[in-house]
Amino acid sequence: MRWIVNRREVEREVDVRTSLLDLLREHLHLFGAKKGCNQGACGACTVLVDGERINSCLALAVQYQGREITTIEGLGAPGALHPLQQAFVEHDGFQCGYCTPGQICSAVGMAAELRNGVPSYVTTDLEAEMIALSHDELRERMSGNLCRCGAYKGIVDAIHETFSDLAAPIPKREAA
Amino acid sequence: MNPFQYDRASDVSAALMARTRAGAQYLGGGTNLIDLMRETIEHPDVLVDVTGLSRDIEETNGGGLKIGAGVKNTAVAADRRVRERFPLLAQAILAGASAQIRNMATVGGNLMQRTRCIYFYDDAASCNKRNPGDGCDARDGFNRNHAVLGASESCAATHPSDMCVALAALDAVVTVRGKNGSRDIPLPAFHRLPGDTPHIDTVLESGELITAVTLPPNGIAARSCYRKVRDRASYAFALVSVAAGLEMEGGMIRDVRIALGGVAHKPWRAERAEAALRGGPATEAAFRQAAEAELAAAQPLRDNAFKIELAKRVIADTFAKLAQAQGAAQ
């Protein structure tokens, strides 16, 4: 089986029961995505597949062959942080840090959804071409990511600072 | 999770063929089925991945839409035609789950998702849906989330979908393919009441595959909304939800659609309330009376009696707002 993980092609033979999360953590040793609930409730395992955020714990690795998977390790690295990682540091967007990789991958996916005009449950004008990242929109759109430390204020501030100007492209690190 | 074989179907015929193997099940986005397999509630021997099939949203005559069963929930809610013509459906989808799950989940899978009754999920509990004849621990257990309409001695589980409640109100039609060809099933008839066979969720016959859901052109859909009441503001299943459409002429109700979620084993099309309202005045008293008529047959369990009054209030308030919006527009 083959996948493209953080811009590199990888090949592994794994049991078909292996989740995408377990492929990343146990077979590729990318420990950024976390196994919180392992049932899609907490969002700690969030990764991007072809730029869309998903819960990797509910995904079978076999089902995502050939797809482009981006984990927190593919967004930034020590010394070359993604702007949202930097903003999490500056705004105290975490205490224990367990939910952070999922929060950041989720927010990057959320920004892409906003740029594509995907509405949310709190979007009042469903026919709007552009949807601004208001406080309510941000909180609704990030509801799939829980933080048991309750660092939500810093998380919201960091995401808002990074993505409130939707005319700006979503920052991406250059391919390695 | 039990071992299984994985088979990615290249087309509908191949999927139908693969599904004839012993213990085979179709796999959509997996957000419910993978979880149920991990909990050992489901144990298929073969998973037939159908996510590559039926991925388009097509126009039908007169302004309707035919949505392929493999279209992701997010893609339906984001589709401009859905947002303009069937805002109720976009709202209902967006009220469900989280963004991550909506990006994975398919339309067909949403129709086929199973109840989140805690006793169904707990293999140490008795559950007629999981194990026919086993009994039901929900009836005398913690049943705050359970059904008040159409339940039976065997089962009081609720259907968890928001999308299906909107589809029930919109007169949607489910197209399925089986070994004898295609057939169409009106959405309100697709899911079953539990009776004494709660292990059967839908009227699908063995091996049948959902290929599309068609939304007929419907003027009332543009004047519709979905209202969901839950324990927290986002990412929770409905205690009560209402899919509502209202078409007025003067102060009178020309046409009306009501479906309820969170109250029954299936998306509950509120035909009694619709009949009570159609042709009558659009007043708050009429909305409340219609809600009373629909909930007259409701039967509470120990913990869920609040849903009956809640449903009445949410129906009445949602229609008051729809009427007000149209009054203001006239």
Q: Write out chain B's pLDDT in tens, 330 residues.
A: 999 999 999 999 999 999 999 999 999 999 999 999 999 999 999 999 999 999 999 999 999 999 999 999 999 999 999 999 999 999 999 999 999 999 999 999 999 999 999 999 999 999 999 999 999 999 999 999 999 999 999 999 999 999 999 999 999 999 999 999 999 999 999 999 999 999 999 999 999 999 999 999 988 998 899 999 999 999 999 999 999 999 999 999 999 999 999 999 999 999 999 999 999 999 999 999 999 999 999 999 999 999 999 999 999 999 999 999 988 665
**A141 contact residues in B (CB cutoff 8 A):** 99
Q: What are the structure tokens assigned to A157, written together? A: 């501030």
Which residues of B fall within a CB distance of 8 Å from A19?
A: 34
Structural contact between residues A28 and A37, judged by C-beta atoms closer than 8 angstroms: no
> What's residue B330's pLDDT?
53
- Mutate which of B100, B106, B321 to test chain A, going by most A C-beta atoms within 10 A? B100
Q: Which residue has the higher pLDDT, A127 or A118?
A: A118
Non-local (6+) Cβ contacts of B241 within 8 A are: B92, B95, B162, B165, B226, B227, B228, B229, B260, B261, B262, B314
Report whether pLDDT(A126) > 60: yes
Distances (CA, A) of B88 to B28, B97, B172: 24, 16, 12
- A58–B83: do the CB atoms touch at under 8 Å? no
What is the ipTM, given to two decimal places? 0.96
Copy the structure tokens of residue B166. Answer: 């909107």
Is any Cβ of chain A less than 8 angstroms from the Cβ of B283? no
- What does DSSP say about strands B46-49 and B5-8: parallel, antiparallel, or unpaired? parallel
pLDDT (tens digit per residue) in A85-105: 999 999 999 999 999 999 999
Cβ–Cβ contact A40 with B under 8 A: yes
Host H or E run for residue A106: helix A100-115
Q: What is the model's pLDDT at position B90? A: 98
B90 in Cβ contact with B109 (< 8 Å): no
Composition of chain B by helix, strand, coil, percent to 5: 35, 20, 45
Q: pLDDT at residue A167 above 80?
A: no
B46-49 and B57-59: which strand pairing?
unpaired
Q: Which residue of A has its CA nearest to B3?
A: A17
Cβ atoms < 10 Å from Cβ of A136: 14
Question: Residues A73, A32: contact at Cβ < 8 Å?
Answer: yes
Distance to chain B for A128, nearest Cα, Å? 10
Q: What pTM did the predictor assign?
A: 0.96
Q: What is the 3-state secondary structure (H, E, C) of B146-183?
A: CCCECCCCCCCCCCCCCHHHHHHHCCCEEEEEECCEEE
